[in-house]
Every structure is written in structure tokens, then in C-alpha cells.
A = this chain, B = another copy of it.
């Protein structure tokens, strides 16, 4: 069968498998903890054979990482509001909502599981993809004559504290906190 399998195309069998498996993982993560999840459960829920899931993702860790990362990327498109502050605020508030939501800890944990030497470097892929989108946001600001921060400054001053709060603080982060971080980033840019 593998020899006759057609090239991957949107809407084809591969896409259907992916959609079914992703939905099953998200469902299961809303019902139970990651530690109670198994590929067998995902197979049962999605109707996709275990062997197919193993062939495609390899491990439960890689599967969860892939699904959660895509979900968060899709639910948080990089905004284009017409001003740097508008873009940064919309982006920061969305991230704050995401990390305070049920998938936040799963996403962060998946990133850490990926730091194992034998793990998939999916965290890199996520950051590259997201970084490319955010760089475009900053480029648009520069084209409008604004004075944007660097991508690294954006990641360190906005994204890092939001993740930090999700990891270490009992009280979830919120939109007000996100806006405080945007103020800080813009204050740093003004100093330059």
C-alpha cells in the first residue's frame, strides 16, 4: 500500500487522517491529562489505525506537540491592525488568552519534552514559523515609518513573560498584563 500511496495533497487521505487525529487529540486533552493519554486512545477516538499514527508521528510526545502547536498557531494569527501598538496589543492579548487556556500548559510542556536530545526539534519549527510572521509585522511597522523593536526583543519582552506566568504563577495572566508588556517594549524602542 505504501508504494501506491499518492503524493500528499490538501483534502486527500493524508489531510483527512491528520484532521481526524488532531481532533481526537484535542478532544482527549480536554477530557484528561496528557499523562493519561495513549496512542491507542487516539486511534480509537479518531478511527485511524495505530500503525498509521505511529508511522506518521513516531511518539505520543511528537503527536501532542504537533497538534497543540498547530492549534495555537491557527487560533492566534498574527494581526494587522495598521499600527505597531495595535498589532502588538492584539497579538499579546491573544497569547495571554492562549497560555491561560487549557492548551497552554500542554504546549509549554511539549516544547520542553522537545529539548531531550533524541526529541524532535519541533519547538524550533514553531518559533521559526511564528518568528517569520512576527518579523513581517515588524517590517510593516518600519515601512509605515514607525520604529519597531527587533524580533528578539519582541519575543523576550512580550512572549517570555507570558509563558513565565503560565508556568510559575497560580493566577493566570490576562489582557491587562499583556498590554503592560507592550508598553514596556515600546518604551524600550523609544529609548533607542
Contacts and interface: CB of A to CB of B under 8 A. Distances in A.
A159 B170 contact: no
Nearest to A181: B156
Contact of A116 (B105, B115, B121, B126): B105
Interface residues of A, number: 34
A156 B166 contact: no
Interface stretch (A8-16, A45-53, A86-94, A106-114): A106-114
Nearest to A117: B33
A166 B33 contact: no
Interface in A133-191: 155-157, 159-161, 163-164, 166-170, 181, 184, 187-188, 191
Please classify the interface of chain A as helix (H, G, I), strand (E, B), loop, or mixed, using the class held by over half of its residues.
helix
Query: Of residues A160, A166, A188, which shows the largest number of chain B Cβ atoms within 10 Å of its Cβ?
Result: A160
A157 B155 contact: no
Given A109-B113, A115-B105, A191-B187, A127 B168 contact: yes
Given A115-B166, A159-B164, 15 more contacts: A105-B112, A109-B109, A109-B112, A109-B113, A112-B167, A124-B168, A124-B169, A124-B170, A156-B164, A160-B160, A160-B161, A160-B163, A163-B167, A164-B164, A191-B191
